[in-house]
Structure 1
């Protein structure tokens, strides 16, 4: 079987051939809520928005996690008053959240499908001053079209798994055509930096993760006060960013904790909000997305809403961080809880943030346990026995700064280079 990612020419030919059937595919997705039916034209590179005059910086993130990571970067780039921002993503959840969050002079659009015609239409219309892609969201036609338009390309917070790096290494011609098109690559971890250096045959130094340099999460004080009245003096713990594959682990944990502390309450914030209804039925709790306020006799509140991790963390004594209790999972960022001063307990499957968790474990700033040891760890947190760990984690989080400043500086340098004669550019930055 021929892999369409084997060569650039084959990829372009195949994506051109499938283009006529994409409208049917997108309409089917819209029927099941995976696309916004009222905005399908954006998936073909068309829009009703006028392009603002002057500098337009385009940032792309795949979904909620990536676009939320870009928020502080967007704010910094908008410090120049005459500059505008275009943010693209591919999911309805990220679009809904960004539509509520984006500041003035920032626009959200859905990413065009990766066909030669749709990407050419998109780039020609928006013609950005700089294109910034986040993490590992790489669409070949879109990248090549942007490169041909002489728009500088940056890959920020670059993160790739071992499997992804291995896959690209088997297709070096394609990798060098796609990843090599970036004028600036800023890896988030040493594994990605080393892998990309070998792949591109040039030095790509690690600078660290933008997720480590994020501010403490904000929340509504009114919402906090209302839920605080429900909790009262009861001990409270959080199951955060959990996946369906580990829900039984959390349910068993809930029963074990209740057996020791019958008055304890659980706030459950699933990674994917669509799991909220099932979790509410299984626990007998209240469901936030339906506007329900938990009754005094309820011990579970399912916060199946986006962008409310800060609120959840403000209410609890300890956080169990999901995405880590099943072999197919790879962990989530623990620094949000650490910055909130909440003890962090997580599982053993942490490959996406291996460097970070290794450093935190060495500093005794996180507790990593197997599922059978979870209950004891949570009970220690509810008894106040993890306060030293919480302080250490908070201090550790405060030390993870500077990545955002470095990223902004390098991006501004790349913008400035655009206005220079290419013959004066010198070496391509990495």
Structure 2
């Protein structure tokens, strides 16, 4: 039997679900959502978990990868993993675990089974997920929990709601002291600062490529609008310095559009290639239109222009990977989702899109970026093994 607030929340979620059904049906025909939407909103080929031990919930690719050092120390346990995105789902399938898409909230009371523990990564604060899992006997743990300075005012406006949500958590492992204070202000308790588990990841290349003799600049994990600014800077930079530009867009559905942009922007005497047609670095500008190659590209790059932070609505991307491979990092001023990780990375230039050219010149006289490692993985594993 649901408590009054939980019942009201469930009814509202169900109403929203019914209103959104026509739009969901249309979106499910798009390649990007063809697998995830039917699974999440219609439970197509998405049965409840059979295993009843530890259930991890992650959103997307980055969080799924971050699980690896934790799961390596839980090999005796039965692991289940739920995800939101297609890329996160594909990454989770690499583990010895049951993997599912997390259904929409109004479906959770009928889908969630009994588990010993639900471990939710970062900021996946789904009220019915917490309430239903706990009602069915699971401890609810937040791992790598974060609440950015930018997002905190929005949480404070819904203080009454998040107090109810965090009352349904048994333990919070957060990234920083600042995160801990923000959670406490929203009524959360039993909080421990352990650092960011992404610092415990083993960052490696899956293939070894021979580094070209010229300087290599990689435009990494770029979003709409960012490629243009980076390419404009590179075109001017390459007039003075022998260099190549490798472009690795964040989302595969943008590969064709980005290729068209590069084709339109390149100079007549410059060559352009795409990785899906020719796996080499002979051209002046190379579009890597393939997944899983970014670390391999970092390994041969001198400078990484890290995307996701030149726009105000994305929040930046993980700087640990280019730092691990000794790249000089240039990024934007909107990396608010990665604030904690950037604390551990040094020699990073944070600039406006119009300042990328200046940053490329400055990088020539700078040392490579590097990172510190601070993570208390042992405390996490001890708790999960209780």
TM-score interval, smaller chain = 0.7 to 0.9
For residues 95 and 308 of structure 1, the distance between their equivalents in structure 2, rounded to whole angstroms, comes to 18
Pick from 156, 160, 167: which aligns with 1:169? 156
Check whether the contact 2:55–2:115 (CA below 8 A) recurs between aligned residues: yes
Check whether the contact 2:171–2:190 (CA below 8 A) recurs between aligned residues: no
Could you say which residue in structure 1 is the equivalent of 2:221?
241
TM-score, normalised on structure 2?
Answer: 0.86
For residues 288 and 12 of structure 2, the distance between their equivalents in structure 1, rounded to whole angstroms, comes to 42
Check whether the contact 1:97–1:306 (CA below 8 A) recurs between aligned residues: no
Unaligned runs of 5+ in 2: 264-271
Deviation at 1:342, TM superposition (A): 1.8
Deviation at 1:50, TM superposition (A): 8.4
Pick from 89, 105, 116: which aligns with 1:114? 105
For residues 132 and 50 of structure 1, the distance between their equivalents in structure 2, rounded to whole angstroms, comes to 16
2:372 corresponds to 1:402: no
Check whether the contact 2:219–2:227 (CA below 8 A) recurs between aligned residues: no
Q: How many residues align?
A: 374
For residues 121 and 92 of structure 1, the distance between their equivalents in structure 2, rounded to whole angstroms, comes to 23
2:306 corresponds to 1:321: yes
For residues 41 and 356 of structure 1, the distance between their equivalents in structure 2, rounded to whole angstroms, comes to 32
Q: Over aligned residues, Cα RMSD in angstroms?
A: 2.7
Q: How does 1:129-208 map to 2 (within 5 A)?
A: 129-200=116-187, 202=189, 204-208=191-195
Distance 1:245 1:186, change over 3 A: farther
Could you say which residue in structure 2 is the equivalent of 1:374?
356
2:279 corresponds to 1:293: yes
Check whether the contact 1:197–1:203 (CA below 8 A) recurs between aligned residues: no
Check whether the contact 1:277–1:287 (CA below 8 A) recurs between aligned residues: no
For residues 221 and 46 of structure 2, the distance between their equivalents in structure 1, rounded to whole angstroms, comes to 35
Comparing 344-353 and 200-209, the one that deviates more: 200-209
Pick from 68, 71, 74: which aligns with 2:71? 74
**The residue matched to 1:133 in structure 2 has which SS?**
strand
Deviation at 1:114, TM superposition (A): 0.8
For residues 48 and 204 of structure 1, the distance between their equivalents in structure 2, rounded to whole angstroms, comes to 33
Deviation at 1:295, TM superposition (A): 7.3
Distance 1:211 1:41, change over 3 A: closer
Distance 1:140 1:202, change over 3 A: closer
2:50 corresponds to 1:61: no
For residues 39 and 251 of structure 2, the distance between their equivalents in structure 1, rounded to whole angstroms, comes to 26
Unaligned runs of 5+ in 1: 1-6, 417-430
Distance 1:303 1:72, change over 3 A: farther
**The residue matched to 2:191 in structure 1 has which SS?**
coil
Deviation at 1:21, TM superposition (A): 5.1
Deviation at 1:174, TM superposition (A): 1.6
2:232 corresponds to 1:232: no
- Please give the per-residue CA displacement for 1:132-173, whole angstroms capped at 9, x wherever unaligned: 111111211121110100101111111223454323322333
Distance 1:311 1:37, change over 3 A: closer
Distance 1:280 1:404, change over 3 A: farther
More helix by percentage: 1
Pick from 26, 33, 36: which aligns with 1:35? 33
- Please give the per-residue CA displacement for 1:45-87, whole angstroms capped at 9, x wherever unaligned: 575668555x53211111222222223322322x21xx22221
Pick from 344, 347, 354: which aligns with 2:329? 344
Check whether the contact 2:220–2:305 (CA below 8 A) recurs between aligned residues: yes
Deviation at 1:335, TM superposition (A): 1.4
Comparing 350-359 and 402-411, the one that deviates more: 350-359
For residues 403 and 291 of structure 1, the distance between their equivalents in structure 2, rounded to whole angstroms, comes to 44
TM-score, normalised on structure 1?
Answer: 0.78
- Please give the per-residue CA displacement for 1:250-291, whole angstroms capped at 9, x wherever unaligned: 121121221112x41111112222222222122233333x44
For residues 39 and 313 of structure 2, the distance between their equivalents in structure 1, rounded to whole angstroms, comes to 35
For residues 34 and 273 of structure 2, the distance between their equivalents in structure 1, rounded to whole angstroms, comes to 28
**The residue matched to 2:247 in structure 1 has which SS?**
strand
For residues 339 and 305 of structure 2, the distance between their equivalents in structure 1, rounded to whole angstroms, comes to 17
For residues 34 and 60 of structure 1, the distance between their equivalents in structure 2, rounded to whole angstroms, comes to 21
For residues 299 and 22 of structure 1, the distance between their equivalents in structure 2, rounded to whole angstroms, comes to 46
Check whether the contact 2:228–2:261 (CA below 8 A) recurs between aligned residues: no
**The residue matched to 1:181 in structure 2 has which SS?**
coil
Deviation at 1:403, TM superposition (A): 3.3
